Structure 1
């Protein structure tokens, strides 16, 4: 049996160095990964962030997103878009119509 396994990798510990508190459910950038805070994380504190699975995230309106589209996180606007100069967030798990304010995203794939 392998002895070098560390953990499953769906959640990681992250140190908040953003100069602001992060609330549970907020999106954070961890290098080139996108994470979702699993609890409130004060500035300078450590907390757990999910870096896998499907999450409902705010979306740019009136952007139409189709299931399977590559999506990106616009940290300035605080929303998902399809601009490839932003941080890759993952794949759209479901369609999101123009009027939708959220989209389901499979993180970091």
Structure 2
């Protein structure tokens, strides 16, 4: 196919205010992904938009496999609560206890659209 640029598992974006740290989740407008490298603010950064990652979660929550997982807009910490302004990022791929600092999530490779409750 002549017009295919790439599969889109990795998407080039401009690093947001404060830059990016490799392995952290970022939302740039409606694009959700994990930074593959460190990047200074305003520099190009590759975001992995699809895959399974272990990422920071709201500690006081228990997750079950298959739970929808959202990013809290202000912090990018993950939650299983679809609160107003949170962004759907994927599904839990492992059980996470209450309390626990991290959870496994499969990013959905789609747009992080805000929840409206």
Question: What is the TM-score with the length of structure 2 in the denominator?
Answer: 0.83
Residue 57 of structure 2 aligns with which residue? 59
Residue 40 of structure 2 aligns with which residue? 42
Residue 71 of structure 2 aligns with which residue? 73
Q: Which runs of 5+ in 2 are unaligned?
A: 110-117
RMSD of aligned residue pairs (Cα, Å)? 1.5
Q: Which runs of 5+ in 1 are unaligned?
A: none
CA distance in 2, matches of 1:70, 1:31: 20
Task: Decide which of 9, 19, 22 is 1:21's aligned counterpart.
Answer: 19
Question: What is the TM-score with the length of structure 1 in the denominator?
Answer: 0.89
CA distance in 2, matches of 1:9, 1:39: 17
For residues 10-66 of structure 1, the C-alpha deviation after alignment (integer angstroms, 9 at most, x for no partner) is 1000102x3212111111103323210000110011111100010111010110111
Aligned residue pair count: 107
